[in-house]
Amino acid sequence: MKKIILLTALAAFAFTSCNNDDDNNEVSLFGTWKLTKATLNAGIDLNNDGVASTNLIAESGCLNHSTIIFTDDVASAILNMQSLDITEEDNGDYSVTCEDGVDESLPYTVSGDNVTLTSDGVNVIFVKNGNKLTIGMDGALLEFTKQ
């Protein structure tokens, strides 16, 4: 049995920002943002239904409780990011265990459309466009939507 660990987007903090046009940024940053989209460049069949998909939330049944809560209290955000523990069986099927996230208080800054969370000295840059916060990384795109 080969074991594959997928740490969700923010756990590794090895990301690059993606660039969006600034059409409507009137939505306040303060409040709760929920992970509503987690896509991969290549499809995978984690739910063993015979159909590979790039939609990591649908394929895994996980990550849909991941949130970022922005407060105006000394510019801190509370990140709670679920992770996946994926095991590939010898027959090629996958088993997926959803790991609960832990609240982590992180400082953040805002510069134009960029919202930067900092963890252990590493900056993670999101792009805010209206009610969406998006981050791209090698092979994946995450999108949080304001609730």
Q: Pairing relation of β-strands 122-129 and 94-99?
A: unpaired
Q: Which domain holds residue 8?
A: 2-146
> What average pLDDT does range 14-21 have in this prediction?
39
Beta bridge partners of 88: 2, 94
Candidates 102, 105, 109, 101; CA nearest to 126 is 109
Q: Tell me the whole-structure pTM to 2 decimals.
A: 0.81
- How many domains in the chain? 1
pLDDT tens, position by position, 34-65 = 999 999 999 999 999 999 999 999 999 999 99
